[in-house]
Amino acid sequence: MNRRGKGAAVEGISCVIIAQNEEKNIAGCVKAFKWAGETVVIDGGSRDRTAALARKAGARVFYRKFDGYSRQKNFAVSKASKGWVISVDADERPEPGFEKAVRRAVENREVDGYWLPRKNFFYGRFLRFGGQYPDYQLRLFRKNKGRFAAADVHEGVVLKGRAGYLKRGFEHYTKEDIASHVDALNRYTGLEAQKRGSALFYYLLLKPFFNFIKNYIFKMGFLDGVCGLIYHYIAASYFFIREVKVMERGGMNSASLKKKIFKRR
């Protein structure tokens, strides 16, 4: 076994990051993964100093106009020159012990990818309940074995091979306040609404209710206190807002509204 001392680069790993207007986060993210053999940043057309700060921190930077998360991330993977890839968002950081776990993981020739636990930071704290931890993400994989599935949002890696699990993963500093959470919800629901044909009654009225009950009650999201209540209420409203946007795209007069809600797909 080839053991490397802490601090030496893991030459067989590329850290890939997609970013747009992330000057607040990008330098810290690149530096946090400086132990990787290389860091690749794909700038989607930032209007701030994202690209310059990424280069200064030591990353290889490429430009690609943003046209969807999965396409952007697959482009990032294509620019990686190493055999293993870690896909990271600009607002994510490795938790203590992650580097050591990765060093060991990539030496296992029988595994082609790993699910990593993720801690999500909302409103000033990490959420521990309601399905928020461990929020497993398949982000570490052999370059020739993984690809992000086509999706405008909530994209995931399709792995051709065997997957394992690591005990150490990411800390996700996702939303500092309610305004940023609502802004993200508005952006993601807009992207999804563009791809949907007709609004469905289930997603409009029933799905938000069932989602809230499942995560806040049965998965004990209430143990995260007021932050848990706010998070799960906003998260459940995602489906309602998305369907309303679908109806808005097709016109919201009373005659068409009933037809669109109850239309079978």
Q: Which pLDDT belongs to residue 248?
A: 87
Rounded to the nearest 10 degrees, the angle between the axes of helix 254-262 and helix 225-250 is 110
This prediction's pTM: 0.85
CA distance 177 to 183: 10
pLDDT (tens digit per residue) in 135-187: 999 999 999 999 999 876 677 999 999 999 999 999 999 888 899 999 999 99
Sign of the alpha-carbon dihedral angle for 166, 75, 61, 28: negative
Sign of the alpha-carbon dihedral angle for 136, 141, 147, 148: positive
Q: Which pLDDT belongs to residue 260?
A: 52
**Single-letter amino acid, residue 66:** F
Could you tell me if 102 and 8 are in contact, meaning their C-beta atoms sit under 8 angstroms apart?
no
pLDDT (tens digit per residue) in 232-260: 999 999 999 999 999 888 776 545 555 55
Q: Which of 36-40, 44-48, 193-197 has the lowest mean pLDDT?
A: 193-197
Determine the average pLDDT of the residues in 102-123: 95
Fold category of 10-174 in CATH:
Spore Coat Polysaccharide Biosynthesis Protein SpsA; Chain A (3.90.550)
The structure tokens 């106009």 sit at 65
Residues comprising the chain, all counted: 265
CA distance 196 to 189: 11
Phi and psi of 221, rounded to 5°? -60, -20
Domain boundaries for CATH 3.90.550.10 within the chain: 10-174
Confidence of residue 264 (pLDDT cuts 50, 70, 90): very low
Confidence of residue 117 (pLDDT cuts 50, 70, 90): very high
